[in-house]
C-alpha cells in the first residue's frame, strides 16, 4: 500500500511553541496567519511531497473555503482538504461550492466533514441541535450532496433535518471530491460507513486505533462499502531521538500553566467523544505524557482536537507510521510547530526512509516511459 501524507494550515496562527486553544476555544499564534505566511507553509508542504493540506473550521480560525481559494494560484499540484460543517450551509450550496472549487483548482479539492462537538460554538453559529441530531443531519446532508454531484435531473429530498426541492447543479465537480470524515461517537459510525471515502481518527495507541477501525470496517461491510483510513497526528522528528525529545521538553517547558487550566476547562465541556479520549490520555498530568513508544500527549494539554505527537528519530517516527499503516491507515495528516520548519524536518528526514522501503512516492513524480518517434521507428526498420 502506497501511503499518502498531508500537512496542516494553522489559520489561527503559528509559533515556535504550542498554540493554545481550538475546538471552541479562542487561539492565536505569535506568527499571524497572514496570507503570505500561509503561502510559505503551503509551499513547504508542496516542496516536501505532501499531497494536501488540511484547513480547520470553527470560530477560532479563519474560514477554510476562502483561505484555500486564495492559495490555489500560488501552488501547482498541492490539494486542499477543506473542512466544512453541515448545518451551517445548505447542501445544495456546498455541492455547488465544491464544483466551483474543483474547476478553478483543476481538481485539487478534498473535503473534511466536521459534525461539530462543541455545543456552545454550534449555538454561536445558530445551530441548536443536540449531538445525535447533528450526526443525523450530517448523514442527510451528505446524501443530498452526493446525489447532486451526479444527478442529471432535478433532485428532491425531505428528511428530518434537510429538505430540498428540484435541486440540480449546472456543473458537476470533476473529479468528485473525496470525503474525509471522523467521529468516535456511536452516532458517527453509520454516517462514516455510508458516506465517507476516508475515515479519520486522532493519534491514539495502536490497540485503540485498531479497535476503532475494526468498528468502522464492520459497519461499512454492512453497507457494501470499503473505506480508506487516515490518522491525524503531530510530529517532532529529528536526526536523533535525543534531539526530538529535547524539543518536546522545550515545548512543554514553554507552556503557561494558566493556559493548561484554561484550555482543559473549556475542553471538558465538549460533547466530542474523540476529545474525551484525547483528554483521558494525559488527564492534565504533565508527568505521564509518553503514552506509548514515541507517542507523546503533550500537545493535548493546551490544544483541542488532535492532541498527540510522534516524537523520535526519523527512523523511529518512520517505524511508528509503518505500524499504523499495518492496521490499515493509508492517509496521515500531520503537523508540527512551527509548520514551515517541521514540514522540512519530516519531509527531508522521514519521507526518504519510507520511499526507500517502497511505501511512499512523491506526488509530483511520474512514471518515465521511453519515447518513440515515427522517424526513429522508420530508421530502425530500414537498417
Q: Using pLDDT thresholds of 50, 70 and 90, give the confidence band for residue 322.
A: very high
Query: Average of pLDDT values for 363-382?
Result: 47
Q: Quick one: which H or E segment has residue 233?
A: strand 228-238
Q: For residue 1, what pLDDT is reported?
A: 78
Q: For residue 303, what pLDDT is reported?
A: 94
Q: What is the CATH number of domain 4-382?
A: 3.20.20.30
Q: For residue 23, what pLDDT is reported?
A: 78
Q: Using pLDDT thresholds of 50, 70 and 90, give the confidence band for residue 44.
A: very high
Q: For residue 283, what pLDDT is reported?
A: 85
Q: For residue 269, what pLDDT is reported?
A: 85
Q: What is the model's pTM?
A: 0.93
Q: For residue 88, what pLDDT is reported?
A: 92
pLDDT tens readout for residues 198-228: 999 999 999 999 999 999 999 999 999 999 9
Convert 71-91 to b/e letters by CB count within 10 Å (16 or more is b). bbeebeebbbbbbbbbbeebb
Q: Using pLDDT thresholds of 50, 70 and 90, give the confidence band for residue 314.
A: very high
Q: In this prediction, what percent of the chain has a pLDDT beyond 70?
A: 95
| pLDDT above 80 (res 379) | no
Q: Using pLDDT thresholds of 50, 70 and 90, give the confidence band for residue 364.
A: confident
Domain ranges of the chain: 4-382
Residues written for the chain: 383
| pLDDT above 80 (res 259) | yes
**Burial class of 39 by CB neighbour count within 10 A (0 to 12, 13 to 18, 19+):** middle
Cα Rg of the chain (Å, integer)? 22
Query: Average of pLDDT values for 339-362?
Result: 98
Helix, strand, coil % in the chain, rounded to nearest 5: 45, 20, 40
Amino acid at each position: 500500500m502506497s501511503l499518502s501524507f498531508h500537512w496542516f494550515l494553522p489559520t489561527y496562527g503559528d509559533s515556535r511553541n504550542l498554540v493554545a486553544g481550538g475546538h471552541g476555544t479562542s487561539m492565536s499564534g505569535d506568527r499571524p496567519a497572514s496570507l503570505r505566511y500561509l503561502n510559505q507553509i503551503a509551499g513547504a508542504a508542496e516542496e516536501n511531497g505532501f499531497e494536501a493540506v488540511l484547513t480547520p473550521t470553527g470560530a477560532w480560525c479563519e474560514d477554510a473555503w476562502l483561505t484555500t481559494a486564495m492559495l490555489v494560484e500560488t501552488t501547482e499540484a498541492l490539494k486542499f482538504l477543506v473542512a466544512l460543517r453541515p448545518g451551517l450551509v445548505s447542501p445544495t450550496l456546498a455541492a455547488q461550492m465544491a464544483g466551483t472549487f474543483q474547476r478553478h483548482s483543476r481538481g485539487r479539492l478534498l473535503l473534511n466533514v466536521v459534525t461539530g462537538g462543541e455545543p456552545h460554538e454550534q449555538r454561536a453559529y445558530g445551530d441548536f441541535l443536540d449531538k445525535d441530531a447533528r450526526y443525523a443531519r450530517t448523514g442527510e446532508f451528505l446524501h443530498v450532496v452526493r446525489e447532486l454531484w451526479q444527478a442529471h435531473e432535478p433532485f428532491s429530498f425531505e428528511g428530518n433535518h434537510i429538505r430540498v426541492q428540484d435541486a440540480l447543479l449546472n456543473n458537476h465537480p470533476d473529479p468528485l471530491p473525496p470525503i474525509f470524515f471522523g467521529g468516535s461517537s456511536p452516532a458517527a459510525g453509520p454516517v462514516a460507513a455510508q458516506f465517507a471515502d476516508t475515515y479519520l481518527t486522532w493519534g491514539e495507541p495502536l490497540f485503540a486505533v485498531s479497535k476503532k477501525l475494526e468498528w468502522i470496517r464492520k459497519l461499512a461491510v454492512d453497507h457494501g462499502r470499503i473505506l480508506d483510513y487516515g490518522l491525524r497526528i503531530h510530529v517532532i522528528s529529528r536526526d536523533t531521538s535525543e534531539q526530538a525529545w529535547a524539543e518536546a521538553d522545550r515545548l512543554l517547558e514553554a507552556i503557561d500553566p494558566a493556559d493548561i487550566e484554561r484550555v482543559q476547562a473549556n475542553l471538558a465541556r465538549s460533547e466530542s467523544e474523540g476529545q474525551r479520549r484525547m483528554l483521558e490520555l494525559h488527564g492534565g498530568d504533565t508527568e505521564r505524557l509518553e503514552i506509548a513508544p514515541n507517542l507523546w500527549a503533550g500537545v493535548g494539554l493546551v490544544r483541542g482536537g488532535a492532541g498527540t505527537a510522534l516524537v523520535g528519530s526519523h527512523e523511529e517516527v518512520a517505524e511508528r507510521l509503518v505500524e499504523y499503516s499495518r492496521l490499515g491507515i493509508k492517509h496521515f495528516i500531520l503537523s508540527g510547530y512551527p509548520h514551515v520548519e517541521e514540514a522540512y524536518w519530516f519531509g527531508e528526514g522521514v519521507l526518504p526512509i519510507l520511499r526507500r522501503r517502497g511505501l511512499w512516492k512523491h506526488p509530483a513524480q511520474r512514471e518515465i516511459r521511453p519515447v518513440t518517434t515515427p522517424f526513429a521507428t522508420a530508421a530502425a526498420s530500414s537498417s
